[in-house]
A and B are shown apart, each in its own frame.
Chain A
Amino acid sequence: MLEIKCPYCGKRSQNEFSYGGDASLKRPQLEKEISDKDWDDFVYFRSNPRGKHSELWHHVAGCRQWFKVLRNTATHEIFKTAKINEEL
């Protein structure tokens, strides 16, 4: 079980969190024209790196804040966590 440092609450066990996918994903702006391909990339396509991955986690059984985690997908090493408005 991972130990994740919520930027608001501190270190907590993984079972308090839920995973939220790639943190580098940007939702296309509303009301803006977008090609089928770009939209498909946003909805369906994710890279699946072995190694460093910036991702979102949600402290569901805690402060209910979404935040960013920089994690090694192969070793589970967590290098850094940050609030949504901070750089990883």
Chain B
Amino acid sequence: MDQNFRIDKAGYINRNKKISFKFNGKKYFGYEGDTLASALLANGIHLVGRSFKYHRPRGFIGAGVDEPNAQVQLYKGAKTEPNAVATLVELVEGLEATSQNCWPSVSFDFGAINNLLNKFFPAGFYYKTFMWPKNFWYKIYEPIIRRAAGLGVAPLKPDPDRYEHIFEHCDLLVAGSGPSGLASALAAAKNGARVILAEDKSRFGGSLLTDEVTIGNKKGKDWADDTITQLKSMPNVIVKNRSQVFGYYDHNMLVMNERTKDHIKDPHKFTPRQKLWYIRAKEVIISTGSIERPLVFGNNDRPGIMLASAAKEYMKVYGVLVGKKPIIFTNNDSAYDTAIEFKKNGIDPLVIDVRANSESSAIKEAKNLNINIKFSHGVINTKGYLRVSSATIGKLNSNKSSYESLENVSCDCICVSGNWTPTVHLSSQSGNKLKFDEKTDAFIPSQSRQNETTVGSANGIFSLKQSLDEGFNKGYELSNKITGKNSKSTTPTSNEKKYGSHEKFWCMPLPKNKNYKRFVDFQNDVAVSDVELAVREGFRSIEHVKRYTTLGMATDQGKTSNLNGLQLVSNIEDKIVPEVGHTTFRPPYTPVTIGAIVGREVGKYYRPTRKSPMHLWHEKNNAVFVDAGLWLRPRYYKQGKETLFEASKREATNVRNNVGICDVTSLGKIDIKGPDTAEFLNRVYTNAWMKLPVGKARYGVMLREDGIVFDDGTTTRISENHFHMTTTTAQAVNVLAHLEYYLQVVWPELDVNVLSTTEQWAGVALAGPNSRNLLSKLFPEIDVSNESLPFMGYKEGSLFGVPARIFRISFSGELAYEINVESGYGIFMWEKIIELGKEMNLEPYGTEALSTLRIEMGHVAGSEIDGRVISSDLSLEGMLSKKKDFIGKRSLNREAFLNPNREKIVGVVPLDKKTMIPEGSYLVKDSNATLPNPKLGHISASCWSVEYNNPFSLAILKDGKKKIGEKLFALSPLKNKNIEVEIVSSHYVDPKGERVRS
């Protein structure tokens, strides 16, 4: 039973290495060098899955990327991978694969009832049927369709594998290692170009692996092997197999996926599963070859019916017979090689050729081998449920519209060939305008938009000699253009069979009164009748036909079906194919696993993490962190079993009563120097800056040109021409870019330089009534009295020998200072302050307490400066200078901004003084009003006021100032809350600001 379909000796597999694997729970054997597909075929297994719509039994069509049917689920658990293409999966010990889209098993599938009902599943069925009743869609139709139409099952656990990204530049990227690709790479490499050669399969050589040709007196395969060895030995060449160039993007950026792990038996745990290469190439050679086209006839989708080239590849590369009673069905000469290969392996094939005759050397060879050939014949229909068992063949009449005679022939496989389609995906993705080539009956590249050149059969050139010539010439020309070198290689001599032309006949007519399904797109179950229906219903654009019928839309992207579909539409409409045009080719050419695209940017590596120099201290002292942009900031310092609420209350209370210390390193800091700095600040801030004395800080608000508040912060004049600006943590990056824009683009005449110093300074805030006392301990030589260092004052000092900047600014509304030292001294500063602050009940506080303090003081922050408010909305109209112009000022005259009923900042307190109001709640007049209940405003920030020991919120409320004292309702449908509230002043604590000046 074991590997009954394996031929002795043939193939490039390693027969000394037997490999066991499981398919649908059963154990099988194959050899090292097999794919899952070739190993299954060696065991006589064709049935691998069920089709998408009708759940029809399906087998292998191809032997590579073109395979539409053989998609399997690999492994189990976190490692599981859906929709793996069996023709691309390399056999490795312990491989486990199961069929998809079938239940309970691939040979008895319940969903196949769809096949019996197929009259009810024509093109557009879903669109037409599930339109009503409307609410049935989400609850009933969609879940059923999703389950029935599912491909594989996505893993529910995180991907345990590692994926890496590589960025590479080269002179020439060659995609595809067939004869023309090898020739191009060799010619360019020998002429000094830096070359990357990419091959998607595990073996190099492309058609040379299967064609009986010689190059330079060597067998084609040996020439390929020698050329690869030579290229690998050159320092200017990178040679990669298992590497699919799947996308051609702008400016000659190509992306390639390299499979680095799955084929290895015991990989190292750090071996990445795949590497995604971003390659910027000066020139690209596309030598991606061509894909054989199926022929269209009745029930042409049964397991055992496959491409003739695939059957040949299984014999030549893997030593596997795809059947022992083959029919070869063709409209061209190339399929005769498959017949000859069968014959050489002792199998008698029957050739069915739609043409009246052909005289090429391949046919002479077939005739000499006594191969049975029936010209002017076609396969009309097939039988055999889980595997093809017979074919109805017929003699075509003279105009090929019907049959003169019919007969049944038994068979176990049918190898079809409808000629070749150049693989133009990359070239089309690059922007190349394709043209229709009458000779090959397919689209080929014509007008490049980027630096790309297509060679070989991808360019419609099917002779080996011409392909080699083209490869060597283009490789030389392009490398010469880049390197300027003139070392030209000569094309080696070659020998090949001569092939005649194909006949442009590929869709078999139906016999009278027969209504066989003739499939065009196997993966999506699109039959000739579906395309006919779409055209009959008025779909004309090929893009519309595609979407209505789903032709070419599945994971295989219609590699085998697109051209047959186009020809069908053009036949029905009595047009020529170029008039119909082609659908757009988009990356990726083959499916790419999301892990490869994400690479190492997962979990905490998703973005860089910024930490303050005091971060380790916070960690050791039970800080619970919160993300603030890229920064990790302590949210609170947990004591015992405290909750966030309890801890932040304790910390904020301690600031109000004693003194607290907060890490404010993440605040944006910008160093500004130059004689025009004051003038510049005068333009970017809304208030006046010309007269700010040295040693003083000032609060400023910046607007965008449209008048909306952009950011706020304090800026300090360190010396005459030197300022220190602070921004919010969130806007630090944007403020810097904003300043640079105005300095470089708008007012280049201003002599000012800006530089981000956020990470150069470690910052702490000391806040609370004891902060002055603590400051005097830290800087005993400085006079820190209110007279000497008043509110908004600035001094430089020495913190036990460390140069420090002291700013008397406050975010908490308390008497407060901010101290900056160079980052390297940050932890020294912090620990020194903690040590000296003990006797004053100093405690660290996190961002939650910081928010509490600023909310109850009515200081605005990001939740109020939300990109929709102007200064007056935030009660900051006093900051708008009337005497000078500034960025955004002119916009403030706009009618909407002058409206006195605008939403304004207010305070909100729940009447029960107990219920916290969820942030984002809407304020309404009547909580029972019919919907839509008019919204008067929204809650922007909420806290537990430690000053009054009840909840307090800030809100942006329509006509807010006039509503102070009114009672409204705060509604939060998300939290199911309906809270009666009173509107109060936004300055809930210390409205006159006495504490900060004390």
* A residues at B contact (CB < 8 Å): 1-3, 13, 18, 20, 27-28, 30-31, 34, 36, 39, 42-44, 56, 58, 60, 64-66, 75-78, 84-85
Contact = CB atoms under 8 A, between A and B. Distances in A.
B251, B746, B893, most chain A CB atoms within 10 A: B251
A58 B890 CA distance: 26
Interface in B877-893: 884-886, 890-891, 893
Contacts of B885: 30-31
Interface in B250-301: 250-253, 278, 280
Contact of B706 (A1, A30, A31, A43): A43
A1 B253 CA distance: 7
Nearest to B167: A13
Contacts of B748: 84-85
A34 to B, nearest CB: 6
A65 to B, nearest CB: 7
Contact of B744 (A44, A60, A84): A84
B348 to A, nearest CB: 55
Contacts of B167: 13
Given A18-B737, A58-B741, A66-B740, A42 B705 contact: yes
Contacts, number: 56
A36 B894 CA distance: 8
Contact of B891 (A2, A30, A43, A64): A43
A2 B745 CA distance: 23
B744 A66 contact: yes
A42 B745 CA distance: 15
A43 B708 CA distance: 12
B249 interface: yes
B251 A3 contact: yes
Q: Chain A CB within 10 Å — which of B278, B737, B745, B891 has the most?
A: B745
A13 B280 contact: yes
Contacts of B705: 27, 42-43
Contacts of B280: 3, 13
A58 B251 contact: no
21 contacts: A1-B253, A3-B253, A13-B167, A13-B280, A18-B737, A20-B741, A20-B745, A30-B885, A31-B885, A34-B890, A39-B891, A43-B706, A65-B744, A66-B740, A66-B741, A66-B744, A75-B431, A76-B250, A78-B251, A84-B744, A85-B748
B278 A28 contact: no
Given A3-B280, A66-B745, A39 B740 contact: no
Interface residues of B, number: 27
Interface in B389-440: 431
Q: Which of A1, A34, A42, A44 has the most CB of B within 10 A?
A: A1
Contacts of B740: 58, 64, 66
A34 B737 CA distance: 26
A58 B737 contact: yes
Given A30-B885, A64-B740, A84 B251 contact: no
Interface in B687-707: 705-706
Given A34-B890, A44-B706, 12 more contacts: A1-B250, A3-B252, A13-B167, A20-B741, A20-B745, A42-B705, A43-B891, A58-B741, A66-B740, A66-B741, A84-B744, A84-B745
Contact of B745 (A18, A36, A56, A78): A56
Among B250, B278, B885, which residue has the most Cβ atoms of chain A within 10 A? Answer: B250
Interface string B740-762: 11001110100000000000000
B586 to A, nearest CB: 16
In this complex, which of B278, B449, B890 has the most chain A Cβ atoms within 10 angstroms of its Cβ? B890
B732 to A, nearest CB: 13
A76 B745 CA distance: 23
Contacts of A27: 705, 746
Nearest to A60: B737
B911 to A, nearest CB: 43
Interface in B212-270: 249-253
Contacts of B302: none
B683 interface: yes
A36 B250 CA distance: 40
Instruction: Select the residue from B683, B740, B744, B746 with max chain A CB neighbours within 10 A.
Output: B744
Contacts of A13: 167, 253, 280
Interface in B435-491: 449
A75 B430 CA distance: 10
A35 to B, nearest CB: 10
Nearest to A26: B746
Contacts of A76: 250-251
A77 B249 CA distance: 12
* Candidate in A3, A18, A85 with the most chain B CB atoms within 10 angstroms: A3
Contacts of A30: 683, 885-886
A64 B737 CA distance: 8
Contacts of B249: 1
A84 B376 CA distance: 72
Nearest to B255: A1
Contacts of A39: 890-891
Given A28-B890, A30-B683, A1 B741 contact: no
B754 to A, nearest CB: 9
A43 B705 CA distance: 7
The list of the 4 closest CB pairs from A to B, nearest first, reads A3-B251, A30-B885, A76-B250, A66-B744
B393 to A, nearest CB: 51
A31 B431 CA distance: 49
A1 B890 contact: no
Contacts of B449: 75, 77
A19 to B, nearest CB: 11
Contact of A1 (B278, B431, B746, B886): B278
A23 B740 CA distance: 15
Nearest to A67: B744
A84 B746 CA distance: 10
B716 to A, nearest CB: 23
Nearest to A20: B741
Contacts of A58: 737, 740-741
Contacts of B683: 30
A77 B450 CA distance: 9
Contacts of B706: 43-44
B601 to A, nearest CB: 12
Nearest to A23: B745
Contacts of A1: 249-251, 253, 278
Interface in B726-747: 737, 740-741, 744-746
Contacts of A18: 737
Nearest to B251: A3
Nearest to B884: A31
Contacts of B250: 1-2, 76
B782 to A, nearest CB: 36
A43 B249 CA distance: 33
A4 B253 CA distance: 12
Interface string B624-661: 00000000000000000000000000000000000000
Nearest to A30: B885
Contacts of A64: 740
A77 B252 CA distance: 11
A20 B252 CA distance: 24
A37 to B, nearest CB: 12
A19 B252 CA distance: 20
A25 to B, nearest CB: 9
A40 to B, nearest CB: 9
Nearest to B890: A39
Contacts of A42: 705
Nearest to B886: A30
Contacts of B278: 1
Contacts of B891: 39, 43
A76 B886 CA distance: 36
A2 B278 CA distance: 12
Contacts of B737: 18, 58, 60
A48 B893 CA distance: 27
